Structure 1
Amino acid sequence: MDLRSATADIERYTLPRFLEADNISKMVSASVAASAYGIEIPRLQQTLMAMQAPWLDTLHIEQSIRGFVELQAIGQALNTLDPFGERLTTALRQGLGDMRDPITWTPETISDPTARTSVYIERGFQAELTNFPEEAFEESLERSGIIIEPPALVVRYSCPVPPSDNPELEAAFARTNVAHDWLQRFETYIRSFIDKVMTGAFGPNWMKSNDPGGLRDAWTAKKRKVEAWSGQDRPLIAYADITDYERIICNGKNWAAFERFFVTKENARESLQRISGPRLGTMHARPLTAEEVLFLQVEMHRFIKLTER
């Protein structure tokens, strides 16, 4: 997962027990992230001191604490703030980078994790968020509350190749890497979400009346090919991919149905844009970076919380 060289210098990472507790508290309280996300300082301090895996970079103590604090702050915020409200959206943009403008992914960039990371840093991603040894990064994600249970597989919306009816399906999911498992489940979840919202707003024939330009024809062609050999029926939207979701959600006629969830169109676009890089890397069998794991966990967390509205 983590392609950086942190493990080569593992000896320089430690637990912060050699620092006085009041010094740690001062650094945490002074953190920009603490005020940006509106987090609970005592809870964050407890998490910081409870870590088991060495995470504090003794050569860059302030940057290390700043990154750890922001990672924990993101987790607290995801679990307490409106997932697409202005406060969380603005704060995430400061830490994860501004992804509102489209990214042009070239074959060379897709195949090179370092090149993808450069794209994220150019957009403003703060490198200290993931500048930890792999074990510490994974533990900090778990303690932060960023990671939640993956969405259930919505079989009706899986696509374009239908899943097996074999009872070992879940075992097969477990054998895939975590990111691929999440993406498979997430895409069935978001297709189901879009279909439910659009049907509620425009009726069951929304794909005819609210097609944002040629999507229905493209999905129909895919559906015919798959059904010819599989014999399994799926709704048309099961043949959509991540670039289609934005076109549906942000379309002029459709936006009224989604505004209460995403608040602004740029919020929806930016969230899907953050997912696009990790998705391309995963689907092209390329290793993911720590940054991409963080993007996936944060943005899927936000989408899953939409169902609470």
Structure 2
Amino acid sequence: MCTSFQLKSSDGGLVFARTMDWHPFKAEALVLPKNYEWTSVYNGKKMTNPYAILGVGNSEMRLHADISDGVNEYGLAAQKLTFSNQSDYASEGEAGKIQLAAFEFLLWLLGNCRSIEDVRQKIDTVQLMTDENSTFKFGRNDLHFSATDSSGQMINIEPHGGRLIISNNSIGVVTNAPKFEREVEKLTTYMDLNILTEPSVKNNNPNQISTGSFNGKPVFPGGFTLTSRFIRAAVYKERAIYPKNEQQNIIEAWHILNGVTVPKSEGRSGTYTVYRSAVEVTSRRLYLQTYEDLNVQVYRFPEEL
């Protein structure tokens, strides 16, 4: 259970924020340098990432670091999120393509693509695989992915029919739901989305996607279901101020995250918001707050990559 969204500021900046809702694991800020070398768990193939990455992940994974979200040196930001048992991976590799376990995709993406357009160009060179024919048995990871860059585009990347399918995300919010279009349809119960009916209409605040009228609309739902978190994040974004700069943008993003953060609970499940993070794609800064720490830590790329 994760919630992700983008938030733009009037100085041209963009924050990409998320909750990482999962079982407890050691999450830490990582800097992977240019030409970071790693070995795929799928087939033992040696990989080299030409681009540096600043992200959140686990450095103690076998054969390589595991990145859950982050930004690279060119300002491409991406995240992986669970996908509610809907991932459809390939079992047989195609010649000339790169075969990866699903959890390795973000490490490849941020290390090999400069922008959303670059992602679109290279996406068909990669296959996400089951472990049926893998060197190491890594089990099933039901994942999909979200990405953005300084152009303001936000995309969803989903594994269907053994291929990675890109779709545009004009809402600027994504959770774990397997049917994004259905979540958007449910959102129309709570706001009139002029971005769907009149996509050419531009608001003074690009974070707003509705007509601005909530008359006659029901109060948005509580709870931690996929749909509830999706709707709350969209409504909070819609009603938030238009931040002027990175500092204001991070503050607004954190208050929105407060509304979708999942606390520990003995009666619900073993999952909770292990951490909240955000990256600013222009400054390439990473903001990280773990569950046990009330402070938000700020990380940067080293001056010389």
When normalised by structure 1's length, the TM-score is 0.28
Q: Say which structure is richer in helix.
A: 1
Max Rg structure: 1
